[in-house]
Amino acid sequence: MEKVNFNEPIYIRKEAGKKKDAVRISCEEDIPEFLKNSIHIVNDELELDCVEGVEHAPLGSVIGYEESEKTKSGINTWHIANAATNLVEIDGVFYTKAAVCLAQRIGEEIPEFLAGAPIERNADGTFTITTDWGKSTGAPEDAYFVLYGVKKDGTPDANILTKSEKSYDAYFVCTKEGEIIGKLSELDPYSKEDEIKRSIERMKRLKSQILGEESEDSVSNGDSSKIIK
């Protein structure tokens, strides 16, 4: 099998023709019974229970869903803003297209292919991207930047794919032409234990940085009694 360097740009795609857990919501009657605690219509727009909190989408949007321990309802829902590009709708059922995307495992820098994307580096070392439906956050080693294409305004149509979510298991590493190399979740498996360890290390570095800045401020102000030893 071809060796893959996940710290460099790679190509990924989903399995073509696979049924997608998604539904188009235009009115209250379109919300399936099992999603009534996850999707609500408020002020003529959709209110979604997702891993990032509460997100909003216009009526008529295609909404994806999956089980998740990170939401209040137990189901993660999100606006599939690129449904027209990546999905095919047949009699109300959605299927994936074999759209090839450019991706790179999150590290310390933003990839060049995402120049112009609304991405911010957070104080704890994670990255947050602003999409058409809200914000998505990922940590180095535990998530991927994914480029789906280019929007009408010329900016990158991108998102963050976290390794802990069910949808991570649906992607394959492939060639630029779409030929499958292997399953992404098998080539770069998710480890909850490693994710927790890295999260703790980031918190330690952030705390150390904050305490160091406080100490420097105390010295510069001539108050040595505030120096933390």
Residue 185 shares a structural domain with residue 111: yes
User: Any residues with CB less than 8 A from the CB of 18 and at least 6 apart, and which?
Assistant: 95, 96, 170
Per-residue confidence (pLDDT) for residue 137, from 0 to 100: 95
Residue 69 shares a structural domain with residue 24: yes
Task: Tell me how many domains the chain contains.
Answer: 3
Residue 80 shares a structural domain with residue 62: yes
Residue 28 shares a structural domain with residue 5: no
pLDDT in tens, 6-50: 999 999 998 888 899 999 999 999 999 999 999 999 999 999 999
Residue 118 shares a structural domain with residue 12: yes
Highest mean pLDDT among 12-21, 82-91, 102-111: 102-111
Range of the domain at 142: 1-16+98-190
Quick one: how many helices (H) and strands (E) in the chain? 3, 18
Residue 109 shares a structural domain with residue 166: yes
Residue 152 shares a structural domain with residue 70: no
Residue 140 shares a structural domain with residue 31: no
What sign for the dihedral angle of Cα 21, 171, 61, 57? positive
**CA dihedral of 174, 118, 97, 3, whole degrees rounded to 10:** 10
Residue 168 shares a structural domain with residue 111: yes
pLDDT in tens, 195-219: 999 999 999 988 888 887 665 555 4
Per-residue confidence (pLDDT) for residue 225, from 0 to 100: 43
How many Cβ atoms sit within 10 Å of the Cβ of residue 169? 12
Global confidence as pTM: 0.66
Residue 86 shares a structural domain with residue 108: no
Mean pLDDT across the stretch 72-100? 89
Residue in this structure with the two tokens 């957070």, named with its chain if needed: 122
Residue 11 shares a structural domain with residue 124: yes
Mean pLDDT across the stretch 83-108? 89
- CA–CA distances in Å: residue 37 to residues 34, 40, 47, 74: 7, 7, 10, 9
Burial of residue 4 (number of CB atoms within 10 Å: 0-12, 13-18, 19+): middle
